[in-house]
Amino acid sequence: MRWIGRFGLIGGGLAGALALAGFLLDRAFPPDLSRYHELARTVEAADGSLLRVFATDQGLIRLKTTVEQVDPRYIRYLAAYEDKRFAHHPGVDPLALTRALGQALSDGHAVSGASTLTMQVARLLEPLPRTLGAKLIEMARALQLEWRYSKTEVLDLYLTLAPFGGNLEGVRAASLAYLGKEPRVLTEAEAALLVALPQSPSLTRPDRSNQAALAARAKVLDRLVEAGEIDAATARIAAATPVRQTRKALPFLAPHLAQRLVAAAPARLRHRSFIEPAIQSPLERLAREQLGVIDARANIAAVVVETATSRVVGHVGSAAFFSTRRAGQIDLAMARRSPGSALKPILYAIAFDEHRAHPGTILADVEQRFGAYAPSNFDGGFSGEVTARFALQRSLNVPAVEMLEAIGPRRLLARLAETGITPDLPLGDDGPGLALALGGAALSLEDLVALYAGLARGGEVRPLAVAFETEVLKGGRLVEPEAAALVADILRGAPRPAARGAADSGSIAFKTGTSYGYRDAWAIGFDGRFTVGVWVGRPDATPMPGVTGLSAAAPLLFRIFDALPGGGARSLTILNAPTSDTPPANLAYVSSAKSGLDALKLRFPLDGALVVIGSTPKDLPLQVEGGRRPFTWLVEGVPVVVGLSNRRTAWRPPGPGFYTVSVIDATGAAVRARIEIATQP
């Protein structure tokens, strides 16, 4: 009994020493999991489905795959074929090892292998030459892996690293490429194929040797019948199922947005965007279709935003990503271009918000100059006195400039800056001018969509949100809800494209824009749920004669709205919508509000001036600055011109002498000049 006790103590000591040695070796030589962590970067849609995959630096499509992501049928088949005692052994299977050694000694060569799934994982993590020493290291590593990790974690390693031919590694990558689907639900034939391919991936990959793939799958099915996993009838049906002979392209949706997310955070392996596949796929299709009916060098960008959250749920940076002629790899949704008239609703919203105008305010759509600037309308004509509602719906240029004159260009830019949006001004300009009203600054499609979404949301502008992981930036209030409602109500009455008619019954508020020289065509609009923006143009900014926002961008805008969820039954409810277009008395006419230039004054004639005229009667120009339209001109107290919206007119003196010339504006303010008219001797 004493000797037994001594041997027990010695055995216990040896076991303890071995355990300590194993612990120290494990800590000194931990398994190298670097290959497992070198994964392809992915960008996902809001529902977790793939939008785009970016290969590793070695060009591999290695996607992390877990047991939860794979059909349980595949896991059962894998264990039955590769390692039927996987759930019970410690990494090395003693029974399989004994059988393999016995067969090798009996037959003089290796007949069957003893490699477990865990040993295969060890080899995948640390590839070594096929030698006896390497096999021993592999076995030691397998024991180490099982010591450190659970069976499920070991399976996760295999599911991610198993080779499937070419640059495909991992069950998820193989399922997407060979089956065109995620591996969550697999048929018997599909599961058996995925079990078979890693045995000899370079020889059995279906896109190179379909017959070899069929044979490898048949071998797996036979083994599954022997193991009792499936019956013979099921195996025959599975073996007769064709195997795809080509490798399916991996998902490639919203490529520009995906590229932007990866570039912003290259260390992050998984990016999850707000893109909705049910919106993105039709959006890309519609953009490609529209591309076929426009200029051969032009391209299209389109953005769809969920208005309530400012989340980008659809994004096309280019409708022809791989086209060199169309510069397809430029993200044109971020390119800064002249917005043309697409900025006018923002201008009017600010004017309404600052109580400088009202939808019923009378504006003068007449030929006039603003200093050296003389804007004209798109069609070259003028409409005379019009309401602000009519001017915005018809996109009249002169009233828009008049409105900007009332606000002031710097004030407009300051209001935009409060929302985080800063237009690019032309190089060499001394400062912003009245051309801002007609697109004299550059904005991106995403900028405009953010501004319009702000109008739809009651005046609160937020930066567009593209992914769950990105920082939420602070926006700002552009206008109060009442002003936003006035503009929304005006825009839902804007003229539709010719083919559209009244199909949406005013449920979409929108505005088009065409930049100078037909370089950019825009259409941005919103309904009760989404804000959509479309840009059409040549990436090199060369003109597209005759292409306008209404002809090229608006038709696509409405087709996109029709394709969105709820497209057949959309609505646009505008809170605080105006009940009347009758403006307050003080807003019957727009007023200038430029600091220091509000006061009414005569530019010609000046007080005390001596005006020499010839012997033939000739008109004397009259010009006023500041004040509020309309103007009434008087000479010697007698009206000569009444209710004039233009700041310039003329009067023909009856002859030489002294005259008092007066002008009165809409507020009753008056200025006068005492002048002398003399004839030339």
- Integer Cα distance of 250 and 146 in angstroms: 34
DSSP state of 586: G
- 586 or 678: which carries more pLDDT confidence? 678
SS3 for 537? strand
Average pLDDT over residues 617-640: 85
Residue 110 pLDDT > 60, yes or no?
no
* Cis preceding-peptide flag for 129 (omega within 30 of 0): no
| Residue 594, domain member (yes or no) | no
The one-letter amino acid at 592: S
pLDDT value at residue 3: 46
What is the enclosing helix (H) or strand (E) of 34?
Answer: helix 34-37
- Asked if 617 and 495 sit in the same domain, the reply is no
- Among residues 524, 47, 569, the alpha carbon closest in space to that of 278 is found at 47
**Are 609 and 645 in a shared domain?**
yes
Confidence of residue 597 (pLDDT cuts 50, 70, 90): very low
Q: How confident is the model at residue 14 (pLDDT cuts 50, 70, 90)?
A: very low
Which of 205, 239, 273 is the C-terminal boundary of a domain? 239
Q: Residue 513: pLDDT above 90?
A: yes
Q: What is the pLDDT of residue 276?
A: 97
Q: Is the peptide bond before 339 cis (omega within 30 degrees of 0)?
A: no
569 or 27: whose pLDDT is higher?
27
CA distance 453 to 514: 20
The predicted pLDDT at position 541 comes to: 94
Q: In the structure, what pLDDT confidence band is assigned to residue 585 with cuts at 50, 70 and 90? A: confident
Residue 191 included in any domain: yes
| End-of-domain residue from the set 191, 218, 239 | 239
Residue by residue, DSSP assigns 190-237 as: HHHHHHHGGGSHHHH-TTT-HHHHHHHHHHHHHHHHHHTSS-HHHHHH
Amino acid at 571: S
Q: What is the mean pLDDT of residues 111-123?
A: 81
Q: Which residue has the higher pLDDT, 476 or 385?
A: 476
Burial class, 540, CB count within 10 angstroms (exposed 0-12 / middle 13-18 / buried 19+): exposed
Answer whether residue 86 shows pLDDT above 90.
Answer: yes
Residue 387 three-state SS: strand
| Residue 112 banded pLDDT, cuts 50, 70, 90 | very low
Q: Are 264 and 470 in contact (CB under 8 A)?
A: yes
CATH of the domain at 123: 1.10.3810.10
Same domain (yes/no): 397, 530? yes
For residue 609, is pLDDT > 80? Answer: yes
User: Rounded CA gap, 380 and 183, in Å?
Assistant: 62
pLDDT at 235 over 50: yes
Contacts of 674 (CB under 8 A, 6+ apart): 607, 608, 658, 659, 660
- 384 has which bridge partners? 365
Verify that 39 and 130 share a domain, yes or no. Answer: yes
Task: Indicate if 540 and 563 belong to the same structural domain.
Answer: yes
Give the residue-averaged pLDDT of 128-154.
89
Q: In which band, very low, low, confident or very high, does the pLDDT at 519 lie, cut at 50, 70 and 90? A: very high
> What is the mean pLDDT of the segment spanning 610-638?
84
User: Residue 481 corresponds to which tokens in the numbers above?
Assistant: 């809800």
State the virtual CA torsion across 348, 349, 350, 352 in degrees, nearest 10: 80
pLDDT band at 576 (very low <50, low <70, confident <90, very high): confident
> Looking at the structure, do residues 577 and 641 belong to the same domain, yes or no?
no
Find the mean pLDDT for residues 254-277: 96
pLDDT tens-digit map of 312-326: 999 999 999 999 999
For 245-261, what is the mean pLDDT? 96
Residue 254 in domain: no
Tokens found for residue 612: 């020499």
Query: Given this model, what pLDDT does residue 23 score?
Result: 55
Task: Write the pLDDT tens digit of every residue in 62-84.
Answer: 999 999 999 999 999 999 999 99
Range of the domain at 633: 601-679
- Residue among 525, 481, 507 at smallest CA distance from 349: 481
Cβ atoms of residues 145 and 29 within 8 Å: no
| DSSP category for residue 91 | S
Give the model's confidence band at 102: pLDDT under 50 very low, under 70 low, under 90 confident, else very high. Answer: low
* Residue 262 is assigned to a structural domain of this protein: no
Phi, psi (rounded to 5 degrees) for 229: -75, -35
How many structural domains comprise the chain? 4
The pLDDT of residue 421 is above 90: yes
Collapsed DSSP state (helix, strand, coil) of residue 454: helix
Do 545 and 529 touch, CB atoms closer than 8 A?
no
Among 45-49, 58-62, 547-551, 610-614, the least confident range: 610-614
Q: Are residues 18 and 44 in the same domain?
A: no
Q: What is the mean pLDDT of residues 540-551?
A: 94
25 and 38 assigned to the same domain: no
Give the pLDDT of residue 103.
56
| Beta-carbon count within 10 A of 30 CB | 10
Measuring CA to CA, which residue among 337, 292, 231 is closest to residue 552?
Answer: 292
At 339, is the secondary structure helix, strand, or coil?
A: coil
Looking at the structure, do residues 617 and 542 belong to the same domain, yes or no? no
| Tokens, residue 576 | 């605080």
Question: Within 10 A of 580 (CB to CB), how many other CB atoms are there?
Answer: 8
Catalytic residue check, 82? yes
* β-strand pairing of 61-62 with 168-169: parallel
The type of residue at 418 is: E
The answer to whether 50 touches 176, Cβ cutoff 8 Å, is yes
Which of the four pLDDT bands, split at 50, 70 and 90, describes residue 595?
Answer: very low
pLDDT for residue 473: 74
pLDDT digits (tens, 9 = 90+) for 325-369: 999 999 999 999 999 999 999 999 999 999 999 999 998 888 877
Which of 537, 556, 585 is the endpoint of a domain? 585
* Residue 298 falls inside a structural domain: no
Lowest mean pLDDT among 175-189, 387-401, 419-433: 419-433
* Element holding 345 (H helix, E strand): helix 344-353
216 pLDDT higher than 80: yes
Short-list 450, 441, 252, CA closest to 337: 441
- Token code pair at residue 511: 């505005």
Tokens encoding 181: 């689907």
- Environment class of 104 (CB within 10 Å of its CB; exposed 0-12, middle 13-18, buried 19+): middle
Instruction: Specify the amino acid at residue 4.
Output: I
506 and 487 within one domain? yes
Q: What is the CATH number of the domain that holds 540?
A: 3.40.710.10
Total Cβ atoms within 10 A of residue 236: 12
Instruction: Return mean pLDDT, the chain.
Output: 88
Judgement on whether residues 109 and 222 belong to the same structural domain of the protein: yes
d(CA 241, CA 248): 18
Average pLDDT for 175-184: 96
The CB density around residue 519, as the number of other CB atoms within 10 Å, is: 19
Whether the per-residue pLDDT at 31 is higher than 60: the answer is: yes
Selected residue with higher pLDDT from 384 and 113: 384
Instruction: Using pLDDT thresholds of 50, 70 and 90, give the confidence band for residue 104.
Output: low
Mean pLDDT, to the nearest integer, of 631-646? 86
How many angstroms separate the CA atoms of 390 and 360, rounded?
9
Whether residue 591 is predicted with pLDDT greater than 80 in this model: the reply is: no
User: Would you state the pLDDT for residue 502?
Assistant: 55
Nearest alpha-carbon partner for 504 in 522, 473, 528, 481: 528
Marked catalytic residue, from 82, 138, 188, 460: 82
CA gyration radius, the chain: 38
pLDDT by residue (tens digit) across 527-539? 999 999 999 999 9
The CB density around residue 337, as the number of other CB atoms within 10 Å, is: 23
User: Residue 360 domain-assigned?
Assistant: yes
Q: Do 222 and 130 share a structural domain?
A: yes
**Average pLDDT over every residue of 632-650:** 86
Express each pLDDT in 659-669 by its tens digit. Answer: 999 998 877 77
> How many Å apart are CA 472 and CA 463, to the nearest integer?
8
What would the mean pLDDT of 394-405 be, rounded to a whole number?
92
Question: Which CATH number characterizes residue 658's domain?
Answer: 2.60.40.10
Domain for residue 263, yes or no? no
How far apart are alpha carbons 347 and 413 in whole angstroms?
10
**Count of CB atoms situated within 10 Å of the CB of 260:** 21
Tokens of 136: 């021993």
Flag whether 562 is in a domain.
Answer: yes
Residue 222 CB coordination number (10 Å): 15
In eight-state DSSP terms, residue 465 is B
Start-to-end C-alpha separation, the chain: 152
Longest dimension (CA), the chain: 152
**Catalytic entry in 310, 338, 341, 515:** 341
